[in-house]
Amino acid sequence: MEHQETRVEIFEKFTWKIDNFSHLNVENIRSEPFVLGGYPWRILLYPRGNKVNDSLSIYLEAMQTANMSKGWSRDVKFKLLLFNQLNTNITITEESRNEFNAGEVTWGFKSLKSLAELHDPNMGFIVKDACIVGAEIFVCKSAHEKLINQVTNLTAIQTFGSQKSHMEVEALRPEPDGKGTNLGTISLVCNEPTKHTDAELFSPSIEELMDFCSLGQREEILWSGHPSHSECQPKRSCKSTDLAFAALGRVIYFLKTLKMKDMNEQACKDLQILWEELEKFRFDLTWLEPDVQFALGVKSYVEKALEVEKLKENVVALELETERLKTKLVTAEVNLCIERDFLKAKGFKEKDLDSELGCGS
C-alpha cells in the first residue's frame, strides 16, 4: 500500500539530550527508537565524526520492522538539529529530502559542527557536559509499509552517568530552551482490530420483514430484463416495487460500505438476512450473487488475516523494545565505566563481582 503525499506539511519533532557527553568512548551511539509520521526512527550520532576527524556526524536512521514488505520506501523531508543551549538563534539546523529504503536506511550529515566549536564551553553547544540534538520529520509518501500504532505523545527516558537525558515527540515545534522535562516511559499500544458495531443499520425492521415475506410469497415475479419475461410479468404494486428496490439497495450499500476486515460472524449473519429477503422478490441476481457469496465466504480468511496483522504488531513492538534495551545496555555500560574510574581514583582495586570482599588482606 502506498501513502500519498499530503499538501499540508506538518513536521513532527524529537529531541534527545545526552548527558555526560565527554564520557562516550564509543564510535557511535543511537537514540532509543521513536515514532514520527507513523514510522519508527532513530538518531545515529558519531561524537568524534564518521570518517572525518574534526566534525560531529549525525544521521537519521529508518528502523526496519515486520511492518515492511519487499520494496518498501519512505520519501521524507527531515531536519537534523544541534541545539545551542545559550542562544537558540545559533542552533544548527540542516535539512534534506531523501528516499529511505532497504538499500539506504540512513541519511544525514558528516560535518554538522566542528569538534573544536562543539566542545568550546563558551559556544553553548555542550553545557554541563550535556549535548542536545533533534530531528524533525515529514513523511511525504511511503510504499509497502504499514503505519505503526502509537500514542499521541511518545516519550522516553535515557540515562547517562548519574543524570537523565530526555526524549520527547511533539506534534509542534516549540523554541528549544535547553531545559529538561520529566517524561514518562515509552509505551506501545496495539489496538484491537476495529469491529463493526452498526451492522444493525443494514438489517430490515420487523414490519419490513413481514412485508418482504408476504409480498415475496404472493408475487412470483422474475426480473430478468428479457422482453418475453416482461410481457408476462404481473404488474408490481408501488409498495412492492419500493420495498424490492429498498432490499436491493441495502445489499448494495452493505457491499459498498463494509470492508473485508469487517466481515465477522455478525456481519455475515446480517448480509445473509438481507440476501435471503432480496431473493424473495425474484430479481435476476446473477450479476450480484458472486459478490455476495464471496463476502459470506471470507470470514475464516479475514480472521486469519487479522491474526497475522495482530502478530505483526506484536513483533514490531518487541523489535522496538529490543532496540530500546540495547540502547539502555550501552548507557549502563557507560555508567559502569564512570563508576569504575571513580573507584580507581580513590585507590580501590577492581574486583570481580563473584570475588570475596576480603578481610584484613
Mind listing the pLDDT tens digit for each residue in 109-168?
999 999 999 999 999 999 999 999 999 999 999 998 888 864 333 433 333 333 343 444
**Domains of the chain by residue range:** 2-187, 199-297
CATH of domain 2-187: 2.60.210.10
DSSP 280: T
d(CA 85, CA 90): 9
**Mean of pLDDT over the chain:** 77
> In the predicted model, what is the mean pLDDT of residues 46-69?
92
User: Is pTM beyond 0.85 here?
Assistant: no
Distance in angstroms (rounded) separating the CA atoms of residues 108 and 96:
8
Dihedrals φ, ψ of 235, to 5°?
A: -70, 130
Residue 77 CB contacts under 8 Å (≥ 6 apart), including other chains:
9, 11, 95, 96, 97, 137, 138, 140
pLDDT digits (tens, 9 = 90+) for 68-85: 889 999 999 999 999 999
Whether the per-residue pLDDT at 274 is higher than 60: the answer is: yes
What are phi and psi for residue 312, nearest 5 degrees? Answer: -60, -45
